[in-house]
Chain A
Amino acid sequence: GAGVSQSPSNKVTEKGKDVELRCDPISGHTALYWYRQSLGQGLEFLIYFQGNSAPDKSGLPSDRFSAERTGGSVSTLTIQRTQQEDSAVYLCASSLDKDTEAFFGQGTRLTVV
């Protein structure tokens, strides 16, 4: 596709349920990032994938959060046992390499009720 694609665009879930958020990066981009944009915390780094290297998970807020990137392309961010404080817009970005411009998707707005 032309840009970074995220799905779903909106997700409402009940507290305690698991959710999966998907990111399709720009084809050929080796770097993929997840960020979270919330009212209380602003924009925060979550996780970074670079090629076949082990991901940088240092931004994940708890062990309920995990992410994987299959075949160096599509990435899935999973949140287990969702809490109300997980409500936020989850943004995915990709870049050709770690030093080049990051292109952002439109985000997934997650609401935990």
Chain B
Amino acid sequence: GDSVTQMEGPVTLSEEAFLTINCTYTATGYPSLFWYVQYPGEGLQLLLKATKADDKGSNKGFEATYRKETTSFHLEKGSVQVSDSAVYFCALQNPNYQLIWGAGTKLIIKP
């Protein structure tokens, strides 16, 4: 079945560091791909998405590119801030409109 694998955390970085959180997927066809973020004490929020190969989703300085050849959707940010500390989830939407989730990666940014 469809699945999403993302790097385990926690990931700890200093402010202004470069961030990459890896995400790969297994799916039939070409699903839409998502990154959701869960800030402490808050609900899940959509961070960005891409619906087809080579699409780049971007929001709040974060980017991810849909790579069909490597079945990947890695999340990147050039310069992280303390306020980016959160749990990040990679997900795909299967043909039945269900979201299939990665395990989540906790990101800790130290000042």
Q: Which single residue of chain A is at the shortest CB-CB distance from B45?
A: A104
On chain B, the residues within 8 Å of A45 by CB distance are 98-100
Interface size on A, residues (CB 8 A): 24
**A74 at the B interface (CB under 8 A):** no
On chain B, the residues within 8 Å of A59 by CB distance are 98
**B43 at the A interface (CB under 8 A):** yes
CA distance A4 to B43 in the complex (A): 10
On chain B, the residues within 8 Å of A58 by CB distance are 96, 98
On chain B, the residues within 8 Å of A90 by CB distance are none
**A12 at the B interface (CB under 8 A):** no
Interface size on B, residues (CB 8 A): 18
CA distance A44 to B44 in the complex (A): 14
**B46 at the A interface (CB under 8 A):** yes
On chain B, the residues within 8 Å of A107 by CB distance are 43
CA distance A99 to B91 in the complex (A): 14
Do B43 and A104 have beta carbons less than 8 Å apart? yes
Do B44 and A91 have beta carbons less than 8 Å apart? yes
- Which of B42, B91, B100 contacts A106, CB < 8 Å? B42
Do B98 and A102 have beta carbons less than 8 Å apart? no
On chain A, the residues within 8 Å of B36 by CB distance are 104
CA distance A110 to B95 in the complex (A): 30
Given known pairs A101-B46, A104-B43, A106-B42, the reply for A31 and B97 (CB within 8 Å) is yes
Q: Apart from A45-B98, A48-B96, A102-B46, what are 9 other A-B pairs with CB-CB below 8 Å? A: A33-B99, A42-B102, A42-B104, A43-B101, A56-B96, A58-B98, A98-B97, A104-B36, A106-B42
